[in-house]
Amino acid sequence: MEYYNYIKSLHLIFVITWFAGLFYEPRLFIYHIEASKKNSPEKEILEKQLKIMALRLWYIITWPSAILATIFAVWLLILVPSWLTESWMIIKIGFIFLLFAYHLKTHQIFLQLQRDEVNYSSSFMRIWNEGATLFLFAIVFLAIVKNAIHWIFMVLGTLGLVVFLMIAIKLYKRFREKSSPKND
């Protein structure tokens, strides 16, 4: 177990970089969607640059980080198999499966935008962008607080966070609409 802390540190580093990618990739999607509504040549210039940025972020940072975070997590479970009998770990693994579903859906959106298929609005993507935040809150609280957590408060706290994020997104949209110049 002398190398346990090294494995745990590597796991946390790659979780952080994975989430960094999951936070920023949908932001690039928003910019790409908004660029698709601009006129030439600005549209083509922005779309080309945003595709390159999204591609590099996705394949150089986000995917490798997801894979490495998972490898080090499995390694930790091999070192401490008793965690698999803990309810907090089972629930955490459930959230991680949901996180991977979110990651795979984000990958699908990424591929669509790489083909210039715009199937979502920038407003939808602003909401989608907050999905990783919800997973991060749930997973970190489960990992840190473990069995001491009161599940009702966690659920209520997560729902409160969702409501807060939805209100913040709506207020930001109103602010943007008021501050953007009118096309007369």
pLDDT at 62: 98
pLDDT at 184: 39
Contacts of 70-79 with CB under 8 Å at 24 or more apart are: 72/7, 72/8, 72/10, 72/11, 72/14, 73/11, 75/7, 75/11, 76/4, 76/7, 76/8, 76/11, 79/1, 79/4, 79/7
pLDDT at 151: 59
Least confident of 60-69, 107-116, 143-152: 143-152
pLDDT at residue 122 greater than cutoff 60: yes
Query: Could you say which DSSP state residue 60 is in?
Result: I
pLDDT at residue 153 greater than cutoff 50: yes
| Backbone CA torsion sign across 140, 141, 142, 148 | positive
Residue 53: CA count within 13 A, CB half-sphere:
15
Instruction: Kindly report the backbone phi and psi dihedral angles of residue 93, in degrees, each rounded to the nearest multiple of 5, phi listed first.
Output: -60, -35
How do residues 2-43 score in pLDDT, each as one tens digit? 899 999 999 999 999 999 999 999 999 999 999 999 999 999
How do residues 48-67 score in pLDDT, each as one tens digit? 999 999 999 999 999 999 99
pTM recorded for the entire structure = 0.83
Mean pLDDT for the stretch of residues 137-152: 74
pLDDT at 107: 98
pLDDT at 154: 66
**């997104």: which residue's tokens?**
169
How long is the chain?
Answer: 184
pLDDT at residue 148 greater than cutoff 80: no
